Amino acid sequence: MKTLASRYYGLVALAVVMALLPLALPNAFYYDVAIRIAINAIVVIGLNLLIGYTGQISLGHAGFFGLGAYASAILATHFNWPAPVALAVGAVATGLLAFAVARPILKLKGHYVAMATLGLGIIISIVITNEAKYTGGPDGIAVPAFSLFGLDIAGEKMWYGVVAALLVLVTWFALNLIDAPAGRALQAIHGSEIAAKVVGVDTTRFKVRAFVLSAVLASIMGSLTAHYVGFVTPGLAGFFHSIELVTMVVIGGMASVFGSIIGAALLTMLPQVLSAFEGWETVIFGAILMLTMIFLPRGLVPTLRLRLGKERT
């Protein structure tokens, strides 16, 4: 059975991999992929908390990511606010929005939650596309560098250090949470909401907290992405991005922290692999989605764990 000790081996392994990885990265392009993987992994760990552990579907999470990205972009570019402040404001604003809609949405059943979160994400992305005066419309706007106390985070090596450290930190938080009473409460909500209620869990409050937490995390990573890339476009908040994030959760493994990281890694690298098949990317992506979900419905990491577990006994 999974014990906290065995999970900590995973965390240490992750830290080691992240520390040693730069030795294997030959140039800036590879750093870029690694950075994007780390960013996605952090967002997906948060999303997995909601989908995998608490069992709530969210098909609009990119909306929160986009809110953070554009908050940072607009405040830093149009109003010259310092980057950390813009990031914080974006996170708070996203948190408030998530909090406002969470209660009514999470009271809905199954597919209706999917529809509501889908709708929210699309509304956000349409607003971003239309309010061109601030957002630059479909073309987007440029974003200045992230500056903290006069020091710019610039260049792939610095960014890699920042996001790698963040990833290890967020993974640690997530592993702790799962093994804490609050984490068990979340899983219980997924397993049987009525059972969770009768043991005293305020299920609505927990669902709302999980929703807001994952939304704020997405917003923060959106802000950082804006500064890293130096540019924001409405696609960051779009339906397809939301689907990508959910796919990372499902392929890596629902209710698995390391699954989230693996899922993010695989799906971030996929477009690079697919670009060789010019024109056929969409077809292949669709095929991969279907095949993975049909043959590995639990996702990669839980399936591997099961197989390895069986071989040991």
Q: Which of residues 165-224 bind another protein (CB under 8 A)?
A: 173-174, 176-177, 179-185, 187-188, 190-192, 194-203, 209-210, 213
- Cα separation, 78 vs 92, in Å, equals 19
| Tokens found for residue 145 | 């560098």
Q: How many residues bind another protein (CB under 8 A)?
A: 76
Chain positions 124 to 163 lying near another protein, rule: CB under 8 A, are 126-127, 130
Q: Which C-beta is closer to another protein: that of 28 or that of 126? A: 126
Chain positions 41 to 70 lying near another protein, rule: CB under 8 A, are 51, 57, 59
Cα 95 to Cα 68, 217, 228, distances in angstroms? 10, 9, 22
- 243 part of the interface to another protein, by CB under 8 A: yes
Q: Which of 81, 48, 57, 275 lies closest to 171, judged by CA?
A: 48
Cα 88 to Cα 217, 248, 307, distances in angstroms? 11, 26, 43
| Tokens found for residue 19 | 């520390």
Q: Which C-beta is closer to another protein: that of 207 or that of 227? A: 207
Q: Which C-beta is closer to another protein: that of 81 or that of 173? A: 173
Q: Hey, how many other C-beta atoms are within 10 angstroms of the C-beta on 183? A: 17
Kindly state the smallest distance separating residue 154's Cβ from another protein, in Å: 30
Cross-strand partners of 232: 141
Kindly state the smallest distance separating residue 298's Cβ from another protein, in Å: 9
Q: Report CA 50 to chain centroid distance, whole Å.
A: 11
Stretch that binds another protein, among 18-26, 77-85, 119-127, 159-167 (CB under 8 A): 119-127
Q: Which of 12, 28, 123, 148 binds another protein (CB under 8 A)?
A: 123
Kindly state the smallest distance separating residue 224's Cβ from another protein, in Å: 20
| Tokens found for residue 177 | 């949470």
| Tokens found for residue 124 | 């956000």
- Cα separation, 120 vs 118, in Å, equals 5
- 246 part of the interface to another protein, by CB under 8 A: yes
Kindly state the smallest distance separating residue 99's Cβ from another protein, in Å: 14
Q: Which C-beta is closer to another protein: that of 57 or that of 304? A: 57
Contact between 82 and 207 (Cβ < 8 Å): no
- Cα separation, 60 vs 237, in Å, equals 8
- 267 part of the interface to another protein, by CB under 8 A: no
Q: Which C-beta is closer to another protein: that of 11 or that of 145? A: 11
Q: Which C-beta is closer to another protein: that of 142 or that of 290? A: 290
Chain positions 276 to 305 lying near another protein, rule: CB under 8 A, are 279-290, 293-294, 297
- 105 part of the interface to another protein, by CB under 8 A: yes
Stretch that binds another protein, among 64-72, 80-88, 142-150, 248-256 (CB under 8 A): 248-256
| Tokens found for residue 313 | 């006994």
Q: Which of 115, 126, 130 lies closest to 237, judged by CA?
A: 126
| Tokens found for residue 108 | 């809905």
Q: Which C-beta is closer to another protein: that of 2 or that of 307? A: 2
